[in-house]
């Protein structure tokens, strides 16, 4: 591919884990290959690969933005990623408290519900 794609794959694997990335790669089809490349280069190879802030901070920002915008589907994936980024449970709680004040209690409440369930799954594994 290219440098940005390669950097994106490296960071994506570091944050989400090899198993997650391998499943995502295996699920790619001709239909979504270009879109997956865009995400790998843009999100992972540009934003997440930047050394401007730490992976912990980036993880916290991502969770806040997902919750604030109501994009709940990716919250469990990014809660699991906290095991690799260094964002603690307390960090996540602080993030969602911030979301409650600035984006609304219902969104923060739902995000917390997802986080609790995901942490329980992680602890059971």
Instruction: Give yes or no: residues 6 and 59 share one domain.
Output: no
pLDDT at residue 45, as a whole number = 97
Instruction: Give yes or no: residues 70 and 104 share one domain.
Output: yes
Q: Is the pLDDT assigned to residue 1 strictly greater than 80?
A: no
Question: In whole angstroms, what is the distance from residue 79 CA to residue 77 CA?
Answer: 6
pLDDT at residue 74, as a whole number = 97
Band of residue 73 on the pLDDT scale cut at 50, 70, 90: very high
Instruction: Give yes or no: residues 76 and 19 share one domain.
Output: no
Mean pLDDT of all residues in 22-38: 96
Instruction: Give yes or no: residues 63 and 27 share one domain.
Output: no
Report pLDDT digits (tens) over 92-120: 999 999 999 999 999 999 999 999 999 99
Mean pLDDT of all residues in 20-28: 95
Element (H, E) at 13: helix 3-16
Report pLDDT digits (tens) over 36-71: 999 999 999 999 999 999 999 999 999 999 999 999
CATH of the domain at 89: 1.20.1290.10
Instruction: Give yes or no: residues 28 and 78 share one domain.
Output: no
Got the DSSP string for 14-67? Answer: HHH-HHHHHHHHHH--TTTHHHHHHHIIIIIIIIIT-SSS-HHHHHHHHHHHHH
Instruction: Give yes or no: residues 13 and 58 share one domain.
Output: no
* Domain that includes residue 37, residue range: 1-50
Model-level pTM greater than 0.85? yes
């Amino acid at each position: 591919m290219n440098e940005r794609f390669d950097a994106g794959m490296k960071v994506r694997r570091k944050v989400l884990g090899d198993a997650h990335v391998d499943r995502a790669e295996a699920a790619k089809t001709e239909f979504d290959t270009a879109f997956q490349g865009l995400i790998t280069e843009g999100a992972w190879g540009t934003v997440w690969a930047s050394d401007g802030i730490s992976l912990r901070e980036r993880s916290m920002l991502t969770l806040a933005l997902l919750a604030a915008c109501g994009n709940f589907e990716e919250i469990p994936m990014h809660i699991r990623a906290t095991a690799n980024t260094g964002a603690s449970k307390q960090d996540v709680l602080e993030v969602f408290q911030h979301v409650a004040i600035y984006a609304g209690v219902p969104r923060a409440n739902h995000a917390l519900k997802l986080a609790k369930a995901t942490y329980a799954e992680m602890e059971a594994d």
